[in-house]
Amino acid sequence: MLGPFELTVPQYTALSVLRDGRTLTNAQLARRSLVRPQSMNEVVVALERRGLIRREPDPDDLRRARTELTDEGRRVLAACDAELARLEDEMLGDLPAADRSRLLAELEGCVQRLGGGLSAS
C-alpha cells in the first residue's frame, strides 16, 4: 500500500498531520502522529532527506525547529491518499453507507482513545 511510495506508516501519518499547512515542532508532530518523540525524530530526518518536509528554526524558541510540508511532500501525500481511498473502497465497498460511516467513526474513536495513552510520552 505505502510501499510504492517508499513510506512507512509513521512517515505517512506525519505527512498527513502536516497537510493543513501548520508548522509543528517535533513534539507536537509526535503527539498528533501517536508516536514517541524519539521515534518522530527518526521519521522527520528520513522525510527531510527525501525533500518531503522542511524544518526551520522556531522564531519563538531557537532551540526548536518547526516542520512543514514541501511541494513534493504534498504531491506524495496526495498520491498516497488516492491509493488509500481506493483501498478503503475495495475493503468496504459491499457495506451499506450507514454501516460504513459507523465503522469509520468507531475506528476513529479507537485511534483517538489510543492517542490519549501516548500524550504523556
Give me the sign of the Cα torsion angle 72, 77, 83, 85: negative
Phi-psi sector, 25: left (phi>0), alpha (psi -120 to 50), beta: beta
More confident residue, 51 or 65: 51
Model pTM?
A: 0.79
Query: At 24, is the pLDDT very low, low, confident or very high (cuts 50, 70, 90)?
Result: confident
| Continuous segment of H or E residues that includes residue 56 | strand 53-58
Query: Which DSSP string corresponds to 22-38?
Result: --B-HHHHHHHHTS-HH
Q: What's the CATH number of domain 3-118, 2.60.40.10, 3.10.20.30, 1.10.10.60, 1.10.10.10?
A: 1.10.10.10
Res. 115 pLDDT band, cuts 50 70 90:
low
Q: Which three cell numbers stand for residue 13?
A: 501519518
Q: Stretch 29-57: mean pLDDT, rounded?
A: 92
For position 19, what pLDDT does the model report?
Answer: 92
Span 67-76, mean pLDDT?
95
